[in-house]
């Protein structure tokens, strides 16, 4: 080989390495099939909208987004998470929707030395003693939106309520959140199977107990069926919820959900320019109203963009330090992480309303300001 050819080959290898360094592989692990598929689809849509608005780049890097469906099966999710970091070489993993899936994939992703950013699932164990410098949640800790309705129930003077939720980590966190701020008596705690769609037995149990109100956590298709069956059964009790009545379920529940209350960290009518542009852009891109899940996906991209810019890349320690320091405007307003890498933010009471032909959630009141989750003090980082 001549010296000229050797130099040319070396230059070519350097150029290839530089080109590779300019591309960022982001693995996105979401539930995209089955009754709760809309949740993952909205997160993906929001993230992809922000990415498109930034010309396909985050932090100046071209992004190769690798989206996979965890099928809401923890064992399947573990295999796919390992494939993302080991086979596909993902520099960052964004996921998951459900907390049982997060608890399954957390260890293999973190042990691979990759930063894991959750745009939704915020299980209590990872907010407290199980926190990790390379794990961040851009949405909320599971309990927090439910705490909104616990406080609302107290404000309304309800004395006796019933709680209903699926029997998995987020369902347990939901009930813990309500009970933390409700000053009355919890008459019954009803746990259902994850993915259950028939609630006739549970509704009969609720009616027989005659509480002052019902609190429900039933995301996706579970929420659609519960709200419809609740309306059809004529239970006639105040129905409070989080992740049950929102823009992912309202297109199916329609009038059956009108007037029902939810707890949230985001609504479409939050008065800031980024949110107004996001709502307009989402509706133009997807022909539907965005949900809190879509806002979380969008904000996750904004947060990663800021952190990657500051860190200059996705090396885990540098990126984590940059994420920890993020303080930027988002669809929710100004965003920052707390001591355990979960958001400190405002939370709202929202109500299902109809605007023209669209069913959406509207802010009714601010319940908590600059609210940190209940587990942060147990996180030692």
Q: Which CATH number is correct for 143-264+347-372, 3.40.50.2300, 3.40.50.300, 3.40.50.1820, 3.40.30.10?
A: 3.40.50.2300
Quote the pLDDT of residue 9: 38
pTM of the shown model: 0.93
Q: How many angstroms separate the CA atoms of 317 and 320, rounded? A: 5
Residue 123, C-beta contacts closer than 8 angstroms, at least 6 positions apart: 99, 102, 103, 142, 169, 170, 173
Question: For 272-316, what is the HEC assignment?
Answer: CHHHHHHHHHHHHHHCCCCCHHHHHHHHHHHHHHHHHHHHCCCCH
Query: At the topology level of CATH, where does 22-140+271-341 sit?
Result: Rossmann fold (3.40.50)
> Domains of the chain: which residue ranges?
22-140+271-341, 143-264+347-372
Quote the pLDDT of residue 22: 83
Would you say 261 and 236 are in contact if contact means Cβ atoms under 8 Å apart? no
Question: Which residue(s) pair with 213 in the sheet?
Answer: 161
Query: In what helix (H) or strand (E) does residue 366 lie, and over which residues does it extend?
Result: strand 358-371
Quote the pLDDT of residue 21: 55
Quote the pLDDT of residue 1: 39
Would you say 197 and 218 are in contact if contact means Cβ atoms under 8 Å apart? no
Mean pLDDT by 10 residues, the chain (381 residues): 37 38 92 96 98 98 98 98 98 98 98 98 97 98 98 98 97 98 98 96 97 97 97 96 97 97 98 98 98 98 98 97 98 97 98 96 98 97 88
Question: For 161-196, what is the HEC assignment?
Answer: EEEEEECCHHHHHHHHHHHHHCCCEEEEEEEECCCC
* Helix (H/G/I), strand (E/B), else coil: 329: strand
Cβ atoms within 10 A of the Cβ of 247, count? 24
Q: How many angstroms separate the CA atoms of 89 and 70, rounded? A: 18
């Amino acid at each position: 080989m001549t010296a000229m050819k050797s130099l040319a080959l070396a230059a070519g290898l350097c150029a290839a390495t530089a080109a590779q360094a300019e591309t960022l592989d982001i693995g996105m692990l979401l539930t995209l099939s089955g009754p709760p598929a809309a949740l993952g689809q909205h997160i993906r849509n929001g993230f992809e909208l922000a990415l498109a608005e930034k010309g396909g780049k985050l932090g100046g890097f071209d992004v190769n987004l690798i989206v996979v469906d965890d099928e809401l099966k923890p064992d399947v999710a573990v295999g796919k998470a390992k494939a993302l970091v080991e086979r596909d070489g993902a520099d960052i993993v964004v996921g998951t929707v459900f907390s049982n899936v997060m608890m399954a994939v957390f260890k293999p992703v973190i042990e691979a030395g990759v930063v894991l950013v959750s745009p939704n699932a915020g299980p209590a164990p990872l907010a407290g003693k199980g926190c990790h410098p390379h794990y961040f949640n851009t949405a909320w800790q599971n309990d927090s939106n439910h705490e909104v309705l616990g406080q609302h129930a107290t404000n309304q003077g309800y004395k006796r309520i019933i709680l209903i939720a699926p029997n998995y980590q987020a369902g347990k966190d939901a009930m813990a959140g309500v009970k933390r701020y409700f000053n009355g008596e919890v008459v019954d705690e009803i746990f259902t199977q994850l993915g259950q769609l028939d609630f006739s037995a549970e509704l009969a149990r609720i009616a027989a107990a005659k509480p002052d109100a019902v609190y429900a956590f039933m995301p996706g298709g579970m929420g659609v069926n519960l709200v419809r069956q609740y309306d059809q059964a004529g239970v006639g009790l105040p129905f409070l919820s989080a992740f049950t009545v929102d823009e992912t379920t309202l297109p199916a529940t329609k009038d059956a959900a009108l007037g029902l209350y939810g707890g949230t960290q985001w609504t479409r009518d939050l008065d800031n320019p980024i949110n107004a542009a996001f709502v307009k852009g989402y509706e133009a891109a997807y022909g539907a109203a965005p949900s809190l899940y879509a806002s979380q996906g969008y904000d996750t991209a904004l947060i990663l963009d800021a952190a990657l810019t500051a860190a200059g890349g996705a090396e885990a320690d540098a990126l984590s330090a940059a994420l920890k320091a993020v303080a930027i405007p988002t669809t929710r307003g100004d965003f920052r992480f707390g001591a355990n890498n979960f958001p400190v933010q405002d939370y709202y009471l929202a109500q299902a309303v109809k605007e023209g032909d669209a069913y959406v959630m509207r802010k009714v009141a601010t319940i908590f300001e600059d609210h940190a989750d209940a587990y942060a003090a147990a996180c030692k980082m």
